[in-house]
Structure 1
Amino acid sequence: MKKSVWIALLFLVSLSVFAQETRPNIIFILTDDQRWDALGFAGNPIIQTPEMDRLAIGGTYFENAFVTTPICAASRASILTGLYERTHGYTFGQGNIKQTFMDQSYPAELRKEGYYTGFFGKFGVNYPGFSELFDEGEDYDRNGKFNDRRGYFFKTIGKDTVHLTRYTGQQAIDFIQNAPKEKPFMLSLSFSAPHAHDPASLQYFWSSEFDTMYQKVTVPDPIMATEADFLAQPEYVRKGENRTRWYWRFDTPEKYQHSVTGYYRMISEVDTEIGKIRKALDEKGLAENTVIILMGDNGYFLGERQLAGKWLMYEPSLRVPLIVFDPRKEGGIRNSAFALNIDVTATILDLAGAKVPKTWQGVSLNSPDLSKRKEFLTEHLWQTPIIPPSEALRTERWKYFRYINDPSHEELYDLSVDPLEKNNLADDPAFQTILQELRTRMEKKIAAYLKNR
Structure 2
Amino acid sequence: MNKCSFPWCLFYILLSFVARAQEPDPSSERPNIIFILTDDQRFDALGYAGNPYAHTPEMDRLAQTGTYFETAMVTTPICAASRASLFTGLYERSHNFNFQTGNIRAEYMEESYPTLLKKNGYYTGFFGKYGVKYDELEKQFDVYESYDRNNQYPDRRGYFYKTIQGDTVHLTRYTGQQGLDFIESTPSDQPFCLSLSFCAPHAHDGAPEQYFWQSSTDQLLQNTTIPGPELGEEAYFQAQPQFVRDGFNRLRWTWRYDTEEKYQHSLKGYYRMISGIDMEIAKLRAKLEEKGLDKNTVIIVMGDNGYFLGERQLAGKWLMYDNSIRVPLIIYDPRVQQHSDVKDMVLNVDVPSTILDLAGLELPNSWHGKSLVPFIAGKNRHFDRDTVLIEHIWEFDHIAPSEGVRTADWKYFRYVNDKRVEELYHLKEDPKETHNLINNPEYQRTASVLRDKTDELIARYSNKYRDAPSQLSVDLINMPKNEAEVLETQLEFSWQLSEFTKKQSAYQIVVSSSEELSATNTGDLWNSGQVRSAASTQVNYAGNPLEEGKTYYWKVRIWDEDNRLVDYSKALKFTAKGSED
TM over 0.5: yes
* Gapped regions of structure 1 (runs ≥ 5): 1-14
Q: Which amino acid aligns with 1:108?
A: T
Structure 2 CA distance for partners of 1:19 and 1:111, relative to 1, 3 Å: farther
Contact 2:42–2:324 (CA under 8 A) maintained in structure 1: yes
Once the two structures are TM-superposed, the CA of residue 451 in structure 1 deviates from its matched residue by 3.7
Range moving further from structure 2, 69-78 or 85-94 = 85-94
Contact 1:363–1:370 (CA under 8 A) maintained in structure 2: no
Map of 2:31 onto structure 1: 24
Map of 2:312 onto structure 1: 305
| Correspondence 1:343 to 2:355 | no
Deviations 1:256-275 (A, max 9, x none): 00000000000000000000
| Correspondence 1:317 to 2:324 | yes
Runs of 4+ in 1 over 3 A off after TM superposition: 17-21, 367-370
Match of 1:53 among 57, 60, 70: 60
* Gapped regions of structure 2 (runs ≥ 5): 1-21, 375-379, 466-581
Query: What is the CA–CA distance in structure 1 between the aligned matches of 2:349 and 2:42, rounded to whole Å?
Result: 17
Match of 1:172 among 175, 179, 200: 179
Match of 1:210 among 206, 214, 217: 217
Map of 1:12 onto structure 2: none
Deviations 1:283-333 (A, max 9, x none): 000000000000000000000000000000000000000000000002321
Map of 1:439 onto structure 2: 451
Contact 1:20–1:182 (CA under 8 A) maintained in structure 2: no
Map of 1:265 onto structure 2: 272
| Correspondence 1:191 to 2:203 | no
Map of 1:5 onto structure 2: none
Match of 1:289 among 290, 296, 301: 296
Contact 1:20–1:184 (CA under 8 A) maintained in structure 2: no
Q: Which amino acid aligns with 2:343?
A: S
Map of 1:95 onto structure 2: 102
Q: Find the residue that maps to 2:126 and give its secondary structure.
A: strand
Query: What is the CA–CA distance in structure 2 between the aligned matches of 1:120 and 1:331, rounded to whole Å?
Result: 30
Q: Which amino acid aligns with 2:440?
A: D
Percent of residue pairs bearing the same amino acid type: 59
> How many residues were matched structurally?
438
Query: What is the CA–CA distance in structure 2 between the aligned matches of 1:371 and 1:21, rounded to whole Å?
Result: 25
Q: Which amino acid aligns with 1:81?
A: T
Q: Which amino acid aligns with 2:373?
A: N
Map of 2:478 onto structure 1: none
Q: Which amino acid aligns with 1:98?
A: R
Contact 1:338–1:370 (CA under 8 A) maintained in structure 2: no
Once the two structures are TM-superposed, the CA of residue 369 in structure 1 deviates from its matched residue by 9.1
Match of 1:113 among 104, 120, 134: 120
Map of 1:364 onto structure 2: 371
- Structure with more helix by fraction: 1
Deviations 1:57-92 (A, max 9, x none): 110000110000000000000000000000111111
Contact 1:19–1:184 (CA under 8 A) maintained in structure 2: no
Contact 2:115–2:139 (CA under 8 A) maintained in structure 1: no
Once the two structures are TM-superposed, the CA of residue 211 in structure 1 deviates from its matched residue by 1.2
Structure having greater relative contact order (Cα 8 Å, sep ≥ 6): 1
Q: Find the residue that maps to 2:182 and give its secondary structure.
A: helix
Contact 1:20–1:183 (CA under 8 A) maintained in structure 2: no
Query: What is the CA–CA distance in structure 2 between the aligned matches of 1:185 and 1:20, rounded to whole Å?
Result: 16
Contact 2:299–2:332 (CA under 8 A) maintained in structure 1: yes
| Correspondence 1:125 to 2:132 | yes
Q: For the aligned residues, what is the CA RMSD?
A: 1.4
Deviations 1:375-405 (A, max 9, x none): 1001001100000000010011110000000
Contact 2:89–2:352 (CA under 8 A) maintained in structure 1: yes
| Correspondence 1:67 to 2:79 | no
Map of 1:228 onto structure 2: 235
Deviations 1:28-69 (A, max 9, x none): 000000000000000101211000001001100001100000
Instruction: Please give the residue correspondences for 1:407-426 in structure 2 after superposition, counting only pairs within 5 Å.
Output: 407-426=419-438
Query: What is the CA–CA distance in structure 1 between the aligned matches of 2:27 and 2:115, rounded to whole Å?
Result: 19
Map of 1:4 onto structure 2: none
Q: Which amino acid aligns with 2:279?
A: T
Contact 2:303–2:329 (CA under 8 A) maintained in structure 1: yes
Instruction: Please give the residue correspondences for 1:385-400 in structure 2 after superposition, counting only pairs within 5 Å.
Output: 385-400=397-412
TM-score by structure 1 length? 0.95
Contact 2:216–2:276 (CA under 8 A) maintained in structure 1: no
TM-score by structure 2 length? 0.74
